[in-house]
Amino acid sequence: MLKNEKERAKKIFSLLKKEYPVVKSALEFTNAFELLIATILSAQTTDVQINKITPKLFKKYKSPKDYVNVPNEELEEDIHSSGFFRAKARSIKNSCAVLMEKYNGKMPKTFEELNALPGVGRKTASVVVGNAYGIPAIAVDTHVKRLSNLLGFIKSDDPDKIEIKLKELLPEKDWVNGSHLIIAHGRKICIARRPKCRECVLGDLCPSFNP
């Protein structure tokens, strides 16, 4: 069964590659640390909104030490428009404290180390290692979760199970871009509550196709 699933997934991602020949993270960053902060901030909001916040934020805070030393209220005000700003400020400060204490203010280079940071889960760790370090990883965001179910790859809302399934279906070299391709399609065509099925190149392969 898995062989047939892999063949179907191969066809789907081949079509997506033709539809979106150039894909990358929508978050704007210049280094792994900036991407870590941006990804923490992106929870429960759009990348577009985060990209409005981070230019000013990254000019003010250039290192983990800067985030650790700033008063909570000041950081909360600086990231207020990201939503859930108190929880996000706490996650940023706690993560940066560990970076200072355990890594001398440097970013760790492995998924396991990043995933162990407070306030950083598998999705954030996958985003950082995949996009900043080029290490194969699949980040399961809301688009990836939704489309993985709609496309029939899996019937589950568990991000960990979805990540495992996609890693089974895709060759390792396609893991990072695989996430980006699904996200690009989710934003442009397979939009939640108003999918453009008539414009979808995956119609013949999608069990949720509804023209």
Average pLDDT over residues 128-154: 97
Going by pLDDT thresholds of 50, 70 and 90, the confidence category of residue 35 is very high
User: How much is the pLDDT for 125?
Assistant: 98
Going by pLDDT thresholds of 50, 70 and 90, the confidence category of residue 2 is low
The CATH number given to 32-132 is 1.10.340.30
User: How much is the pLDDT for 211?
Assistant: 82
Query: Where along the chain do its domains lie?
Result: 2-24+137-205, 32-132
Confidence check: pLDDT of 23 > 80: yes
Condensed to tens digits (0 to 9), the pLDDT of residues 166-176 reads 999 999 999 99
Condensed to tens digits (0 to 9), the pLDDT of residues 38-72 reads 999 999 999 999 999 999 999 999 999 999 999 99
Q: Is 66 a catalytic residue?
A: no
User: How much is the pLDDT for 17?
Assistant: 98
Reported CATH class of domain 2-24+137-205: mainly alpha
* Single pTM value for the model: 0.94
Confidence check: pLDDT of 16 > 90: yes
User: How much is the pLDDT for 3?
Assistant: 76
Inter-residue contact 13 to 178 (CB < 8 Å)? yes
Catalytic site residue from 123, 145, 165, 174: 123
User: How much is the pLDDT for 192?
Assistant: 94
Q: Is 160 a catalytic residue?
A: no
- Average pLDDT, whole number, for the chain? 96
User: How much is the pLDDT for 149?
Assistant: 98
Catalytic site residue from 141, 145, 165, 174: 141
Condensed to tens digits (0 to 9), the pLDDT of residues 64-113 reads 999 999 999 999 999 999 999 999 999 999 999 999 999 999 999 999 99
User: How much is the pLDDT for 1?
Assistant: 57
